[in-house]
Structure 1
Amino acid sequence: MKKLQRFVMGGLLLAAVPGSASWAQTTSGYDQHQVFSPYFFQTNGNEYRSASGAPGPKYWQNRADYLIRATLNEQDTTVSGEVSVFYTNNSPDKLDFLWMQLDQNLFRPDSRGAATTPVSGDRFDVKGFAKGGYHIESVEVTYEGKTYHVDPVITDARMQVRLQTPVKADGDKITVRVKYSFAIPVYGADRMGRLDTKNGIVYELAQWYPRMCVYDDIESWNTLPYMGLGEFYCEYGNFDYYLTAPAGMTVVASGDLQNPAEVLTPKEISRLAEARRSDATVMIVTPDEVGQPSGQSTAKKTWHFKMDNTRDVSWAASRAFIWDAAKVNLPSGRPTIAMSAYPVEAAGKDRYGRSTEYLKRSIELYSAKYFEYPWNSAVSVAGVALGMEYPGIIFCQSNLTNGDLWGDVTHEIGHNWFPMIVGSNERRFMWMDEGFNTFINEYSTHEFNHGEYENPQRKPEMFYRMFIRDKDPLMTAPEGMSLNGYGAYYFKTAAGLNILRSYVLDTNRFDYAFNLYVKRWAFKHPQPDDFFRTMNSATGENLNWFWKEWFFTNDKLDQAVTSVKYVSGDSTKGALITLDNLGGMALPVILKVTEAGQDPRIIKLPVDIWQRGGTWTFKYPSTGAITSVELDPDHILPDANRQNNVWKAQ
């Protein structure tokens, strides 16, 4: 989902928190027994999920392959279709019923999401509309050669399919076929919808078919309803899908177009071939060609796409699309293409004219640093969605320019790593996709075009003020998080990873462990403990104290310099510097000590000094009078009260 503010780029951890007298502690709220308690993990490692954080020898996950045929109907603004789900039960359990997600039911006027939207509205503004939601025409099941009709049980945005015969464990297969339709909302909760342009409507179609819920070893069926903020959790599989749209439309979608000769002109096919060889952006449909018929001159055209080993697919269609593309250079050399589709209102070198460049470079950077992009194409679409990601396709707001557009493109395509490759449960743990993605976005912004949009002088103090005000821990489920506080999923998570990387561990150990987590859990379903355990085992550090305070509490940091005393009253014999930890959080100490007539020295003390209590005295080898001692001089850490961070000689 779209980042909250783009100016976080390049400066997240340079934030300073002005002294806050309203928060200032006079007595310590620190409890070392709580912070460093030996009890953290609720369960031991097992044969499914190892204590090391790796998938266990008997790790399993179910699979859902899809065949979809859908039609965009302009006359009544609907999508109608039929989806066949070829479901494989790899679990050790027999299944008496199946659960499917009906995400479009969020837009029913009687949905839970509509009922829980504040009167004043919110960024998702889910109020429902009269024709909103799925119309399920029929549900059929085919199992062991027998096909039968099912009367589904629909509860809000979930559908239960009760089976005549249970699906057996350990690889048994069943097919579910659903005929459906839904009215396309104008504004689909930030994630889809319709944008009016002078050359036609831009349709962004997401959550556009009934999808399987995930059955896993943690929750069994994951059936939390779609209510707006909480996103998605999907099984992996292969998608084979056909999209029928009016002939004058260009369709872009997740995956690979299978029938270009049927839907594109020879000129467009030739230009795409050129783009696959070009690092510079190549126009496929120029502004002058927008609205002209292409390919077959029928009333409708059917576009055929395939995408393998993915958890979802999405698409967009419009008569208004300019379309451009360029090649992506992956470490393996595998051919991949980046594309953009946008209306003329969004064209120009300060706007979507550079979208493909941004998309291409982001994919190249993330592929080189973390995990190679696994699919053959990606497309950025300008439309009504405020910012949303799907495998191989992203939706960005059409009015973005320059650094704002870069920030949105690199963020949304970054989600193809978290959670499209590393398939975490966004419905429960939003920080595992938004936070990890915000973290990697900082590095893409630093690298892109020699830091073109990086602004290291911009210190986003608002995010640490947000940190101070946070009432909800990161482990809070999205629907329980304050509507004014869910930015913490993005920025508190990213800040925590940066602190771990640069100040608790070191870049070498952190990067090795973080990349190992990505490789271990690519195309799988990690839980928070899998991440925590991987980082602990691969770095050789017990970081449970950090996971506890950063993710499970809203504890604050307040380090203070309490006193400076000389040994035997003689500054040349050394100084005893006393520090207090007044907040509930423990972090390492960074000190700048300045002696008269000398350059300042930086002293770093590990977090371990706080294991025996909230006060620590250490000997500093002074050779003369100390003029000042300052905690966290570069304002790296989220200290809630900087008024007690500096000691100065009287």
Structure 2
Amino acid sequence: MAYGKLMVILTCAGCCAIDGAQAAPVPTAMDMRRVFTPQPLPDPPNRYNSGSGLPGPDYWQNRADYVIHAHIDTPTHALSGEETLIYTNNSPDSLDTLWLQLDQNIYRPHSRAGFANPERHPNTTDGMEIDSVAIVHHGHETPLRPRISDTRMQLALPGAPLSHGQKVQIRIRWHYIIPGPWGGRTAVTPARDGEIYEIAQWYPRMCVYDSHRGWDTLPYLGQEFYLEYGNFDYSVTVPWNFTVVGSGALLNPAQVLTRTERARLAQAARSDRTVMIRTEHDVTDPTSHVARMGEKTWRFYMENTRDVSFAASPTFLWDAARIDLPPVRPAPGMKPVPRLAMSVYPREGIGPQAWDRSTEYVRHAIEYFSRQWFSYPWPNAINVGGHGAGMEYPGIVFDGWEDRNDTLFWITTHELGHGWFPMIVGSNERRDAFMDEGFNTFIDAYASQHFNHGEYAPKHDAEFAPLTGRPADDIIPVLKDPQAPTLMTPAELVPEKYRHPVTYFKSAYGLVLLREQILGPERFDTAFRRYIQAWAYHHPTPSDFFRLMESEAGEDLGWFWRGWYFENDWPDYALSRLSYINNDARQGTQVSIKAKGRLMLPVTLRLAYSDGTHADQVIPPESWHLADNITVAFPGGPTVDRAILDPEHVLPDPDRSDNIRLMKSR
């Protein structure tokens, strides 16, 4: 069902009927002052974050570069690794300690996450065992004694603190047991032809040190991340019959791929159609590998990223097609190469409306988001058919081999959309989830409209059944629920009951309202692209987003930020009077409107004439600055049949019974 030419359809996921809904008090004219009073933002502008929402003249950001060697022992499901981390302090502060994240400690029996979210990790392990930590200076290692607290590790630096512009090199050796098929965040899952390893959050990762809090060391409770950017050179050693795909570019194809596989990849780089790199026959044919015993080491490289992940399995079929974007340099000193969309999956995923189409979906997502918002920066984009976590990492996403039809399209597009939010625009997912899941849900709803003339439009979220399919109605139970959190609620404080309705749907629908009803696509798109470009590979806050959208779009939006983000307000308009001026249709018609809600979205007033024509007038938010009642006059014309507020049903008005008024003279 369309909502006019510009309205994208976005269906609420999990917006079930919520108990406790209640009506808000009807505002008075005096209340309008509160509605339009300037909204204070959490972070005041300064030299680091400017009043325009752009990075300030003294904006700084620390950096973390990694060289990692990992090994998977398949009989024990153990991953061991050695990491050399080069950390650069670009802050004006001197640092005497470093903090790192040890996400695998979430699986320890008495982890904080086990109490906060016990349903998220049913398997337990000993977590990440740190074998050694040392500072490396001129090739010599000085051991450090780590202080580990739940999912964090603190390293006290010996000697002088790390001052502005200095680097420190840390070497860490660790191992852990991969904790079974949970959530795709380091999982091992049995399939018909072997096990699938989806390896993520698998190495000690630097915490962010920023100008807002210093070290941001929230414990990992199972939600999302906040990470520094840098370059990654990493290698993975696995059994001879494994295929490995990972974030970034494969640097040693001649050592791990057969001549046939390399030729097929070259063909895929020239093809708009999917090319099989490893076929169903190859999965069970030992001669399809470069070696038939021992182990192979696969080496990858990725520039300017906040993370890397990989998948490894003997079960993988592998296909690819070119991405229609300019070639990209895979590593320093190498020539630019074509970009590839790829998919790997077990035989269970084969099907004409299943994983046979995955790479088609990958290719569309990367090309569409690149042309609409910001160009994809990395060599490859990979969809993994595994446990079915629906989880994103830079350049690679983990989905389910059982996904089919529209579900596979939606989950693929959504997870790849995270390449923009928060992989390119590096917001703090641990605290501001709406800037991650909500922004991404917004862009992938439009991608659903765009793909193959709307083959899978409108977008529904695969985990939940839709309600009416009309977002203006589906959001109302959330807005009116007194227990529902606001979008500005810290991510870890949003109950699971509300996570999808609020963090995903309300955030995305808010951007739809901003684009379609408040700013219009041209102003919104220009401002939103500027936001992405300005904060690519940086760390914006909600205040930066709010300020930049206002500055670039040329609109004071404080009333909208307050009502939609800081509160759960809604619009509610009522027609209170419809009459001719001096009882003469030739002199014109006047319509009186009352505001009963606290969110003053622009609303269309339509005058429907008896001859079938109509006249529309958009009532802007400023109409309600000092009054809760206004009267709109239309010039004389045909006799009037009725007046209608919001005739296209685009606003979340919970009481539409007073949105239509008939002319009494009929």
Place the TM-score, normalised by the shorter chain, in its bin: over 0.9
* More displaced 10-residue stretch of structure 1: 568-577 or 316-325: 568-577
Residues 237-636 of structure 1 mapped to structure 2, 5 A cutoff:
237-293=230-286, 294-330=289-325, 335-455=338-458, 458-459=469-470, 461-469=473-481, 471-487=484-500, 488-636=502-650
> What secondary structure does 1:386 align onto?
strand
SS of 2:157's equivalent in the other structure is: strand
CA distance in 2, matches of 1:110, 1:29: 53
**Aligned counterparts of 1:463 and 1:264: Cα–Cα separation in 2:** 50
Aligned CA distance change for structure 1 residues 11 and 42 (closer, same or farther; 3 Å): closer
Larger CA deviation: 427-436 vs 132-141: 132-141
Q: Residue type matched to 1:550 in 2?
A: W
Q: Which amino acid aligns with 1:544?
A: G
Deviation at 1:189, TM superposition (A): 3.6
Could you tell me how far 1:261 is from its partner in structure 2? 1.2
Worse-superposed segment, 587-596 or 232-241:
587-596
Letter in 1 for 2:490: A
> For residue 27 of structure 2, what is the aligned residue in structure 1?
28
Partner deviation per Cα, 1:2-35 (whole Å, 9 max, x = no partner): xxxxxxx9522899999x9975567337822222
Distance 1:331 1:83 in 2: 32
Deviation for aligned residue 1:583: 1.9
* CA distance 1:332–1:344, change in 2 (3 Å): closer
Deviation at 1:622, TM superposition (A): 4.5
For residue 153 of structure 1, what is the aligned residue in structure 2? 147
SS in 2 for 1:203: strand
Output the TM-score relative to the length of structure 1.
0.93
Asked if the contact 1:341/1:380 (under 8 Å) is kept, the reply is yes
Alignment of 1:23-62 (within 5 A): 23=22, 27-28=26-27, 31-62=31-62
Q: Quick one: which amino acid aligns to residue 477 of structure 1? A: P
Aligned to 2:465: none
Pair 398,13 (structure 1): closer, same or farther in 2 beyond 3 Å: closer
Cα deviation, 1:250-307, whole Å, max 9, x if unaligned, reads 1110011111111111111111111111111000000111143311233111111111
Using the alignment, how far apart are the partners of 1:346 and 1:42 within structure 2? Answer: 47
Q: Does the 8 Å CA contact 2:89/2:164 hold for their aligned counterparts?
A: yes
- 1:169 maps to 2:163: yes
Instruction: Report how far residue 423 of structure 1 moved.
Output: 0.7
Letter in 1 for 2:9: G
The 1:217/1:283 distance shift into structure 2, 3 A limit, reads same
Note if 1:228 corresponds to 2:217: no
Instruction: Look up the match of 1:6.
Output: none
Check the 8 A contact 1:17/1:638 in 2, yes or no: no
Find the counterpart in structure 2 of residue 212 from structure 1.
206
Deviating more after overlay: 98-107 vs 163-172: 163-172
Cα separation, 2, equivalents of 1:53 and 1:490: 23
Map of 2:4 onto structure 1: none
Report deviation, 1:86: 0.5
The separation in 2 between residues aligned to 1:476 and 1:58, in whole angstroms, is 29
Question: Conserved in 1, the CA contact under 8 Å of 2:11 and 2:505?
Answer: no
Find the counterpart in structure 2 of residue 3 from structure 1.
none
Query: Could you tell me how far apart the structure 2 residues matched to 1:234 and 1:33 are?
Result: 41
Do 2:11 and 2:469's aligned partners in 1 also have CA atoms closer than 8 Å?
Answer: no
CA contact (8 A) 2:8 2:512 kept: no
Contact 2:579 2:590 in 1 (8 A): yes
Distance in 2, matches of 1:165 and 1:471, equals 50
* Counterpart-to-counterpart distance in 2, 1:332 and 1:605: 48
Greater shift in the superposed pair: 134-143 or 189-198 = 189-198
CA distance in structure 2 between the aligned counterparts of 1:406 and 1:475, rounded to whole angstroms: 30
- Alpha carbons of 1:26 and 1:112: their partners in 2 closer, same or farther (altered >3 Å)? closer
Preserved CA contact (<8 Å) 2:478 2:484: no
Rounded to whole Å, the distance in 1 between the matches of 2:239 and 2:327 is 38
2:250 aligned partner, one-letter code: L
Per the alignment, residue 74 of structure 2 pairs with 74
Counterpart residue identity of residue 634, structure 1: E
Q: Give the SS at the match of 2:420.
A: coil
Does structure 2 conserve the Cα–Cα contact (< 8 Å) formed by 1:331 and 1:368? no
Q: In structure 2, give the amino acid aligned to 1:502.
A: E
Judged with a 3 Å threshold, the aligned counterparts in structure 2 of structure 1 residues 69 and 332 are, in CA distance, closer, same or farther, namely closer
Of 159-168 and 199-208, deviating more is 159-168
Could you say what the CA RMSD is over the residues aligned between the two structures, in angstroms? 2.4
Paired with 1:190 and 1:571, the residues of 2 have a C-alpha distance of 67
In 2, Cα distance between equivalents of 1:485 and 1:22 = 14
- Work out the CA distance in 1 between the residues paired with 2:398 and 2:42: 38
CA contact (8 A) 2:12 2:505 kept: no
Letter in 1 for 2:189: L
Structure 1 position 370, deviation (Å) = 1.2
- CA drift of 1:39 comes to 4.5
2-structure distance, mates of 1:175, 1:14? 47
The residue aligned with 1:12 is 10
Letter in 1 for 2:10: L
Give, as a single letter, the amino acid of the residue that structure 1 aligns with 2:263.
Answer: S
Residue 117 of structure 2: SS of its match in structure 1?
coil
Give 3-state SS (helix, strand or coil) of 1:235's partner: coil
Q: Do the aligned partners of 1:62 and 1:89 also contact (CA within 8 Å) in 2? A: yes
Distance in 2 separating the partners of 1:26 and 1:644: 17
CA contact (8 A) 2:364 2:451 kept: yes
TM-score (norm 2): 0.91
C-alpha distance after superposition, 1:482-535 (max 9, x if no partner) = 211112211111111111112111211111111001111111111111111111
The alpha carbon displacement at 1:569 in A equals 3.2
Counterpart CA distance in 2 for 1:610 and 1:54 is 31
Contact 1:21 1:641 in 2 (8 A): no
- CA, structure 1 residues 39+552, in 2 after alignment: closer, same or farther (shift >3 Å)? closer
How many residues were matched structurally? Answer: 634
Deviation of 1:167 after TM superposition, in Å, equals 3.7
- In structure 2, the gaps of 5 or more residues are 1-6, 329-336, 460-467
The one-letter code matched in structure 2 to 1:495 is Y
Match of 1:484, SS state, is helix
Tell me, in whole angstroms, the C-alpha distance in 1 between the residues paired with 2:126 and 2:661.
62
Q: SS of the counterpart of 2:547?
A: helix
Offset at residue 567 of structure 1 (A):
2.5
Kept in 2, the 8 Å contact 1:254–1:313? The answer is yes
- Inter-partner Cα distance in structure 1 for 2:51 and 2:314: 53
- Name the stretch that deviates more: 160-169 or 276-285: 160-169
Shift of 1:612: 1.1
Per mean C-alpha deviation after superposition, the further-off stretch among 436-445 and 211-220 is 436-445
Range with bigger deviation, 31-40 or 545-554: 31-40
Check conservation: 2:82, 2:174, Cα contact below 8 A: yes
Counterpart of 1:86, as a letter, is: I
| Structure 1 stretch displaced more, 405-414 or 162-171 | 162-171
Task: Note closer, same or farther for the CA distance 1:50–1:21 as it changes in structure 2 (3 Å cut).
Answer: closer
Whether the 8 Å contact between 2:11 and 2:474 is mirrored in structure 1 is: no
Aligned pair 1:95/2:95, yes or no?
yes
Task: Indicate the SS of the match to 1:425.
Answer: coil
Does the 8 Å contact 1:187/1:385 carry over to 2?
no
Q: Could you tell me the percent identity over the aligned residues?
A: 44
Which residue identity does 1:259 align to in structure 2? Answer: N
Q: Which moved more, 1:420-429 or 1:470-479?
A: 470-479
Equivalent residues of 1:106, 1:227 under 8 A apart: yes
* Matched residue type, 1:174: V
| CA distance in 1 between partners of 2:387 and 2:12 (Å) | 33
Instruction: Confirm or deny: 8 A CA contact 2:43 2:543 kept in the other structure.
Output: no
